[in-house]
Amino acid sequence: MSITLKTAADLEGMRVAGRLAAEVLDMLVAHVKAGVTTDQLDRLAHDHMVQVQGAIPAPLNYAPPGYAPYPKSICTSINHQVCHGIPNDRPLKDGDIVNIDITVIKDGWHGDTSRMFVVGAGSIAARRLCTLTYEAMWRGIAKVRPGARLGDIGHAIQTFAEAQGLAVVREFCGHGIGRKFHEDPQVLHYGRPGTLDELVPGMVFTIEPMINAGGREIRELGDGWTIVTKDRSLSAQWEHTVAVTESGYEVLTLSAGSPPPPAFVNAT
């Protein structure tokens, strides 16, 4: 495994890219409502990235080995879709939950973040899943500091989620990020404390747990990208890009409209 450590100058570039990615989500808040299609959201996001931010949408035509090029500029995963949902012409309806995943490239640096949106009021179960998944992500983030291990992050997420009766998807994970969309290390959202790579200042990676209301098993749809829960239970995901600092961590994907951290983060 070859982990690229970022310099102070590198981190400046990544802060800009991260903030821009979060600002795309801020812009979309007013548009995520019943009757809007995810295709429309994709066009809004694409135009904002390209025309307003002078950035590049990283997912568009992204083609890792074994995959056809991804055809859109954002990922939109609805209800039982776990990740990599492709925007289409189906209107959102009241009660839907949707993850919108944004990755921008600005001056060669990637900023990667996602949020859950509830269309309309949403059911108690759906809102609970989104809230607990958000807290699970932050339980992982709060473990980031020099000398900690990647396994500490996964363990914190897994134990919290499973204590709430939820299941952690294991086939997808967070990842290092920088000038490349996906770099080492892999950041598992489950695991044992004190295991895997030691965290050192300059490491930058995403923490992006996918949490299911039912079982953890998943399957891939015929489009070659969209992942769904095998039992069709709801799934939620949140994502931040995080840097390891000399004293702890810095979340690089924050903006004026980012949801505040859970109360326990400020308490610690």
234-259 confidence digits (pLDDT tens): 999 999 999 999 999 999 999 999 99
What pLDDT digit, counting tens, does each position of 105-157 carry? 999 999 999 999 999 999 999 999 999 999 999 999 999 999 999 999 999 99
CB 207 within 8 A of CB 163: no
Q: What average pLDDT does range 221-229 have in this prediction? A: 97
> Can you list the domains of the chain with their CATH numbers?
8-267 (3.90.230.10)
pLDDT at 268 over 80: no
**Tell me, what's the pLDDT at 266?**
80
Quote the CA–CA distance of 176 and 196 in Å, as a whole number: 14
Taking the complete model, does pTM exceed 0.85, yes or no? Answer: yes
* Residue 28: strand, helix, or coil: helix
Phi/psi-derived region of residue 115, left when phi > 0, alpha when psi is between -120 and 50, beta in every other case:
beta
Q: Distance (Å, rounded) from C-alpha 132 to C-alpha 162?
A: 11
Phi first, then psi: what are they for 43, rounded to 5°?
-65, -40
Q: Report residue 36's pLDDT band, with 50, 70 and 90 as the boundaries.
A: very high
pLDDT digits (tens, 9 = 90+) for 43-82: 999 999 999 999 999 999 999 998 999 999 999 999 999 9
Bridge partners (DSSP) of residue 242 are 205, 251
Ordered alpha helix ranges (H), the chain: 8-28, 38-47, 124-141, 150-163, 263-267
pLDDT for 8-23, tens place per residue? 999 999 999 999 999 9
